[in-house]
Amino acid sequence: MLTFILKRLMLAVVVALTVSFISFSLMFLSGDPAAALAGETASAEDIEAIRALYGFDRPMLVQYWQWLGAALTGDLGESYYFKLPVASLVAERLGVTMLLGVCGISFALLTAVPLGVAAAIRPNSFIDRLSLFLSVAGQAMPSFWFGLILIVVFSIKLGILPPSGATSWKHFVMPTVVLGYYAMPAIMRLTRAGMLDVLSSDYIRTARAKGASEVRVLFKHGLRNAIIPVVSLAAVQMGFMLGGSIVVESIFALHGAGYLAWESIGRNDLPTVQALILIFSMFYIIFTFLADVLNAWLDPRMRSS
């Protein structure tokens, strides 16, 4: 087991480095970072001065190597745009995004899993059709549109939730629902499919034949097996929520790390983008690792493999 974990960790580091290197390279394809930093009113001389000041005149590999060396010692550099240490900037913004991500995935799991189980227990029933409708709507509805609809209803018409900002728990209600609803359909359909598959299997029939209660059949024998792919999916969705909550953060003016990443790309703020890509990819890797461990706990057969 220890060897397995070490191997996974080494793989994680390689993946994180690869991701960071590719993204570092791609950033240089999006235009001259010196020109972007200098702004619209800068002269050619200003741009050259900035190029020399920030070291953009050095080979890209050298720049990457130096960045990596500093990052390993915890120095993520200084944001070109904000002139603040990237570490403190990211730490300040990551809190909002983490909170939003945890709330979003919790909302998605707490609604999708029960609905998926209910739909599987009674296929083609009202609850099954409702879950199908919700999942189709969730997949089809753009987040920005759904967010605005919620704002219109709950902020403008009813006046019970603030439209934007992040100063109280109420500010997180609508963003959580919007973000969670985006992740919900896939989890719900996967739960339903898994449950249908498991419920028709021989060991469930055996359990029922042995007189096990319906609750025990569903949750102890059924859900425990059906939930395994859902755990993996949820880990991926959680990673997506951290990096991909850009639209939600923008609509609700939450100033989180997702929006910071998006804006920093446009500003060619390389140190910030690099740090965020590294952090987001590490989160992805950690979540998938934890999902594997959880799956191994849920299904003993996976431990040996």
Count CB atoms within 10 A of the CB of residue 174. 24
Q: Is 76 in the site for other proteins (CB under 8 A)?
A: no
161 makes contact with other proteins (CB under 8 A): yes
Shortest separation between residue 232's beta carbon and other proteins, angstroms: 31
Residue range at the interface with other proteins (CB under 8 A); choices 44-52, 63-71, 179-187, 233-241: 44-52
Min dist CB 167 to other proteins, Å, is 7
Which of 46, 75 has the CB closer to other proteins? Answer: 46
Q: Does 125 bind other proteins (CB under 8 A)?
A: no
Tell me the C-alpha distance between 243 and 128, whole Å. 32
Q: How far is the CB of 117 from other proteins (least distance, A)?
A: 18
Binding segment for other proteins among 47-55, 102-110, 200-208, 233-241 (CB under 8 A)?
Answer: 47-55
Count residues near other proteins (CB under 8 A).
49
Nearer to other proteins, 3 or 41 (CB): 41
Q: Which of residues 1-30 bind other proteins (CB under 8 A)?
A: 30
Near other proteins by CB under 8 A, which window of 2-10, 56-64, 162-170, 291-299?
162-170
Question: How distant, in Å, are the alpha carbons of 17, 24, 160, 184, 202 from that of 291?
Answer: 21, 28, 37, 18, 27
- When the beta carbons of 75 and 78 are compared against other proteins, the nearer one is 78
Please give the angle made by the CA atoms of 256, 261 and 262, to the nearest 5 degrees: 100
Residues 246-275 that bind other proteins (CB under 8 A): 250-253, 255, 259, 263, 266, 268
Which residue among 12, 17, 49, 98 contacts other proteins (CB under 8 A)?
49
Residue 99 CB, shortest distance to other proteins, in Å, is 16
CB-neighbour burial class of residue 209 (10 A; exposed 0-12, middle 13-18, buried 19+): exposed
Q: Which tokens sit at 274?
A: 């690099």
> Please, is 34 exposed, middle or buried when counting C-beta atoms within 10 Å of its C-beta (0-12, 13-18, 19+)?
buried
CB of 223 to other proteins, least distance (A): 24
- Please give the single-letter amino acid code of residue 289: F
Among 1, 2, 72, 156, which residue interacts with other proteins (rule: CB under 8 A)?
Answer: 156
Residues 167-206 that bind other proteins (CB under 8 A): 167-168, 170, 173
**Do the beta carbons of residue 77 and residue 67 sit within 8 Å?**
yes
Contacts 24+ apart (CB under 8 A), 59-66: 60/24, 60/25, 60/28, 63/24, 64/21, 64/24
Angstrom distance (rounded) from CA 50 to CA 34: 6
**Residue count of the chain:** 305
**Residues 33 and 270 sit within 8 Å (Cβ to Cβ):** yes
Q: How many other β-carbons are positioned within 10 Å of the β-carbon of residue 116?
A: 29
- Of 182 and 259, the one with the shorter C-beta distance to other proteins is 259
Distance, in Å, from the CA atom of 76 to the CA atom of 83, rounded to the nearest integer, reads 13
Q: Which stretch binds other proteins (CB under 8 A): 43-51, 105-113, 189-197, 231-239?
A: 43-51
The answer to whether 115 and 187 have CB atoms below 8 angstroms apart is no
Strand partners of residue 85: 78
Binding residues for other proteins, per CB under 8 A? Answer: 30-33, 35-36, 39-47, 49, 53, 81-84, 144, 148, 151-152, 154-156, 158-165, 167-168, 170, 173, 250-253, 255, 259, 263, 266, 268
